[in-house]
Amino acid sequence: MSNKQLNSTNGQIDQTYIEKYVKSEDLKFLVDNALDYAIITGFMQKAHSNHSNGFFQIRPFTLLPTPFPRKLFDQAKAVQMAMNILYFRVSWDYKFLMDSHKDVIKTNSFIRKLCELMTQVWGEGVKQKKSVLLQRADYLAGVYDGGLKLKQVEVNNISAGSAGMTIRITKLHRNLLSKIGLDSESIDKHHPENDAIRSQDMAMIQAWIEFDDPKAVVLFIVEDPNEVNMDQRDAEYSLEDMSNDKIVVVLMSLEECSFRLSLSERFELMLDNKKKVAVVYFRAGYIPSHYPTNETWEARLIIERSIAIKCPCIGLQLANTKKVQQKLSEPEVLEYFLSDMPYLIDEIRKTFAKMWGLENNDQTTEIAIQDAIVNPNNYVLKPQWEGGGGNIFGDELAMKLKTMSADERAAFILMEKIPAIVQRNYLVHPLQTVCKENLISELGIYGSLFGNGETKEVYANLTTGYLLRSKYASSNEGGLSMGTAVMDTPFLY
């Protein structure tokens, strides 16, 4: 096909727009444009290789935005600031967090270690009462008898990634929508703008300013400064750019922190005994493998005991577990945390999927367990695991519930498997043929908050952008880092 805009059909634009606007002969033109745009704009990642320096490939993505219900997209955005406040308050409620995890820690050594760390820090007195929340709440569009409903999959309060890359895929898709013939008014109507990472960085910049030391650095805790997806680099460069290079960002693993960080007599967090650290941003530290030695746990303790402003603080990381997500769905819990904001409670509760804690031996729990054993495809069994993967489905779920001890069972939550809407779109993978597939799309809404946990005062609270990830409808897991999902954006209808 010649290098010109495609001819579009006239008429109303709806969720079938891909079938109406894109024919098989158009694909090569669109894919060539998409690949070139991805390369030019840096929609890339390092190749998975031991010799990855200098070798890059495009990130997998959908060729065009995937249809997503406008009503549910707007609902997810509207509730995000309330979600920020909810989790901020949970993160500073020591008793609630300890009570929530008292059964989990019997068999989950990682959560037990985090609880012990928080207990030690709170026992001696929290030195820094201000904290930053950078959150992404993830949802599916569920198909129920009463119609489509927005249902929450999980809430991410540590290393809520891809904010930089989602801006790039948004621009790429807007470019391709113009290529298939949509005018700017139609694009603006159906394809929302996205400024996720710059808005996220505003909270960290405000925290850095509040620390009141222009020479203090911002520390990013990462797995590896040269990791494959480079996601933390987006946040680093954006932070430097937005601060006009006043902020110096340092990237270190917890292992490096173990010998480069120390505390001054005033509990200042010192880097190499020379520079103060104003803000610590955890892009790692959410799974056991990030703490390979006792020294790495000591490094985390030093950070938590300091007056550096944390993102997240240890309380917010413990608020990030599946157990807390399940506890928040129980009666009167939202009322406890949002008693002064009752108008927010119903809006949040509407998004909750059905969840059951498995630590109790009551009739309600037993009925849910037995139904899950008989009908395992209607449920998901979730451990306290972050970073993608770990969920248990189908026959394995049924067998797990049959064979686990009571203590082992308490470390999991049981959740309804959300019957998600299925759409069709083309998938673009490096070095693979582009093909059309049945997809399920998961919508993430970013939020940021900066506040004082002791006084509950909120200095800034924002809804900051979105991420859409799409996976094969036949796949249970849908993580970008796991390679089971691709980046996408919503076409609202």
Give CA 395 to chain center in angstroms.
28
User: Which whole number is the average pLDDT over 181-199?
Assistant: 93
| 285 known ligand binder | no
pLDDT tens per residue across span 290-332 = 999 999 999 999 999 999 999 999 999 999 999 999 999 999 9
Of 79-93, 184-198, 414-428, 475-489, give the lowest mean pLDDT range: 475-489
| 274 known ligand binder | no
| 54 known ligand binder | no
pTM over 0.85: yes
pLDDT tens per residue across span 111-148 = 999 999 999 999 999 999 999 999 999 999 999 998 99
Residue 56 confidence (pLDDT): 85
| 154 known ligand binder | yes
pLDDT tens per residue across span 173-188 = 999 999 999 999 999 9
| 383 known ligand binder | yes
CA distance 379 to 402: 15
Which has more pLDDT, 214 or 484? 214
| 482 known ligand binder | no
pLDDT at 3 > cutoff 70: no
pLDDT tens per residue across span 262-298 = 999 999 999 999 999 999 999 999 999 999 999 999 9
| 469 known ligand binder | yes
Residue 7 confidence (pLDDT): 55
Q: In the structure, what pLDDT confidence band is assigned to residue 228 with cuts at 50, 70 and 90?
A: low
| 232 known ligand binder | yes
| 417 known ligand binder | yes
Residue 143 confidence (pLDDT): 97
Residue 220 confidence (pLDDT): 97
pLDDT tens per residue across span 366-377 = 999 999 999 999
pLDDT at 483 > cutoff 90: no
User: Which whole number is the average pLDDT over 429-453?
Assistant: 96
Residue 55 confidence (pLDDT): 79
| 386 known ligand binder | yes
Residue 200 confidence (pLDDT): 83
Residue 225 confidence (pLDDT): 65
Residue 47 confidence (pLDDT): 76
| 418 known ligand binder | yes
pLDDT at 1 > cutoff 50: no
pLDDT at 8 > cutoff 60: no
pLDDT tens per residue across span 17-57 = 999 999 888 999 999 999 999 999 999 888 765 555 667 88
Residue 291 confidence (pLDDT): 97
Mean pLDDT of the chain: 93
| 391 known ligand binder | yes
pLDDT at 71 > cutoff 50: yes
Residue in 38, 284, 308 with CA at minimum distance from that of residue 159: 284
Residue 6 confidence (pLDDT): 60
pLDDT at 339 > cutoff 90: yes
Give CA 355 to chain center in angstroms.
20
| 442 known ligand binder | yes
| 415 known ligand binder | yes
Residue in 393, 353, 341 with CA at minimum distance from that of residue 372: 393
Give me the amino acid identity at 407.
Answer: D
Q: What residues form DSSP beta bridges with 428? A: 61
| 208 known ligand binder | no
Tokens of 443: 């919508």
| 384 known ligand binder | yes
Which has more pLDDT, 482 or 224? 224
pLDDT at 481 > cutoff 60: no
| 465 known ligand binder | no
Query: Peptide bond preceding 65: is omega within 30 degrees of 0, i.e. cis?
Result: no
**Region for 435 from its dihedrals, namely left if φ exceeds 0, alpha if ψ lies in -120 to 50, beta otherwise:** beta
| 275 known ligand binder | no
CA distance 101 to 401: 20
